[in-house]
Structures are given as C-alpha cells and as structure tokens.
Amino acid sequence: MRVALIHDHLAQDGGAEKVLAVLAEMFKEAPIFTLLYDPANADKHFKDRFIYTSIIQRLPGGVRHYKWFLPIMPLAVEFFDLSGFDVVISDTSSFAKGVITGDHTLHICYCHTPTRYLWSDTHSYIQEMKMNKYLKKIVALFLNKLRIWDLAAADRPDCFIANSRFIARRINRYYHRPSEVIYPPVATDKFAISQEIDDYFLAGGRLVPYKRFDLLINAFKVNGKKLKIFGNGPDLPRLKSLAGSAENIEFSGWVSDEDKRRLYARALAFLNPQEEDFGITMVEALASGRPVIAYKAGGAREIVEPGVNGYFFAEQKIESLNAALVDFRADALISQQIKQSAEKFSEAAFKDNFIRFLEKKQREFKTV
C-alpha cells in the first residue's frame, strides 16, 4: 500500500505537527508533501523524511514570510501530483485537503478545523488587521474568493476525520460533510505525577490573541495569585506590556520538554481561558495528574469532567475566572484519577482508532 502524507506547511511545532509526526511514525515509508518546510522550526520529527515542498519554498521570502503568498497557496497545493498513491492522508486546517488525487486513490482528511479565517473567525480576523478600512474591504473581497475555493476543496477528500465533536459540527456546518471523531494523539506516557506541588497556576502554548492569555493576566493582577505562562508567539510583547510590573506573573518563554513536564506536574492547576478546537495542553496537564480550569466552550467540554479532572468557568470575564479560582481546592481531586482520564487521548488510542478507520474506508472504497 503506497501512502502519502500532505500537510499545510511545516513552519512551526504545533498541535497539527504533532498529529503529522504520529502519522509519519505509523507510515514510515510515506513521503510528506507540504507547501513549505522550515527546518529551524519544524525539524524535530521530520529531519529524516522525504519532504516535497511547493514552489513557495523557492520564492524569495517564501519560508520566512510565507503568509504573503496566501493568494497562490491553492494553486501550489493543486500542483502536487499524488495520483500514484493508494492512500493520501491530508492533515490540515486550510489548504492540504484541496490536493487533487487520482480515481484509484483513497483520500482521508484529518481536519483540525475548517479554515478559521474563512469561516468561524473571518470577521474577527479582518477586524484585528492593522490596516485602514479600505484595505480591509479588499482583503474581505479576496477572502470571499478564497472561501469559494475552500468549499470546492472540501469536496475532494473521500472522507473526513474531525479532531473533536466540536470540529465535527463545524465541518458539517461549513462543508456539509459528515466526519468521524478521532481525538489527536498525546504522548500521555511521557508525563508523570509529582509528589510536590508548588503555589502557582500554569498556562501556556502559542501566544496569539485568540488564546486569551490577556484574560488570565488581567484576572491575576486582581487576585494576586501566582501565574506562570510558558511559550512564545506574536502576542508576547503585548502580554508583557499588559502584565507590567506585576510580580506574581511570570513568563517562562520557550521551555524544553523536560521543563514543561515539570511545570505541569507541580502546578496547582492548568488554565485554559480560550475556545480551542481540541486542546492538547489540557490533556498534557491531566496526564501529569493536575486538574484543568477551563472556559466552558469548544474542545474543553470533551476533555474536562467537572469534579473528576477539573472545573469550568462560564464566561470569558475576570469575575467569572476569579470566582472559579476562589472555589478551587487543589486537594479536592485525586491525581491518579486525573491522569487516568487522559488515557483516551493517548497516542496508542489514536493509532488504534485511525487504523480501524482506514481499514473500514479501504473496504468501502474497494466495494464502490
């Protein structure tokens, strides 16, 4: 069976790249096709693989400033010739699903979300752009054209896998396609319970506006409790400015896997103030035996079980979050039970579920 993997772009080490890494481990001979590849940011799992990039890789600034080349990304994906493969697996939240395959190729799309800036987040995406209203209108017109392509591209896979029930509903809403839920793989076996718990709350990940770290900072400036935030991203300067001289808020920056595991294991709780498609960092915290306090929306509703492995707060407001922190008791939940709740999101569970899905779809495809 000849398998090919296709991914939007290898320019960072995020949740989608973690899924691709496990797929690459499962299909060791499969080449990886992607719009562009930046070894400096995404070489950890892929340095020994055959990686085929698009024309964007060879254009001036194509890797460093790849977002400038958004208008040609649909065309660049369609240039890939994957007709010689039996199975194509696209791991995507934007363009990879639009690859054109042959009549005898089964195309499975693992969808992290319908493209955010075209569908669910399109209005906020335009509003947050730092440009005048006339340029924003031009961008809106372009996104409208791109939305038409995206909808056509969503018809190309033979079947969809969603990374959560939340995303399955979104796929049905925007693409009118059914999907099966297979949760993303998390290396739960690499996290352990600590016998020592420190006095800080923890948050982290890629520092971008929609993840609402600003809500945490404003809340902790009021409550005075200790907060640690790990990770880097374009929102870091704004968040540091917002924190100002608050001595109870600490930015850890990029941390090694070992340091991140220690931060999880010794935190009072992990905080998730945003609406996530899924939420790998929440699962990593649970695998460390620590509870999660999350905004009650998105993937968190499928991960957090109130009174078992964490708690919810109802509104993205300082008062709602701080009320949850006042009620929180670090010793009210059992660490072993918290860790056990993470196992349904393990890499082993993902592999088993994915192979069963693949075999079922191959039988159906051959019958047709």
pLDDT at 94 over 90: yes
Q: Quick one: DSSP state of residue 310? A: E
Among residues of the chain, what percentage have pLDDT more than 70? 97
Determine the Cα–Cα distance for residues 264 and 266; give it in Å rounded to an integer. Answer: 6
Position with higher pLDDT, 220 vs 69: 220
Residue 185: name the closest of 254, 292, 110 by CA. 110
pLDDT at 289: 97
Q: Which of 127-141, 187-201, 221-235 has the lowest mean pLDDT?
A: 127-141
d(CA 43, CA 177): 33
Cα distance between residue 285 and residue 304, in whole Å: 11
- Give the 3-state secondary structure of residue 71: helix
Query: At residue 198, does pLDDT exceed 90?
Result: yes
Residues 268-321 have pLDDT tens digits of 999 999 999 999 999 999 999 999 999 999 999 999 999 999 999 999 999 999
pLDDT(261) > 90:
yes
Task: Specify the range with the lowest mean pLDDT, choosing from 41-55, 140-154, 312-326, 352-366.
Answer: 41-55
CATH 3.40.50.2000 assigned to domain 188-344? The reply is yes
pLDDT for 124:
74
- Dmax over CA atoms of the chain, in Å, equals 66
Residues of the chain with CATH 3.40.50.2000: 188-344
CA distances from 182 to 4, 110, 296, 313, 354 (A): 20, 9, 21, 26, 7
What's the pLDDT score for residue 41? 80
Closest CA to 227 of 321, 129, 125: 321
Mean pLDDT of the chain: 93
Domain 3-185+347-367: which CATH class?
alpha beta
- Residue 99 contacts by C-beta under 8 Å, 6 or more apart in sequence? 6, 33, 77, 78, 80, 82, 88, 90, 107, 156
Q: Binning pLDDT at 50, 70 and 90, where does residue 190 land?
A: very high
User: What's the pLDDT band for 113 if we cut at 50, 70, 90?
Assistant: very high
Rounded to whole angstroms, the Cα distance separating 36 from 56 reads: 6
Pick from 26, 34, 303, 85: which is nearest to 181 by CA?
A: 303
Maximum mean pLDDT: which of 42-51, 117-126, 152-161: 152-161
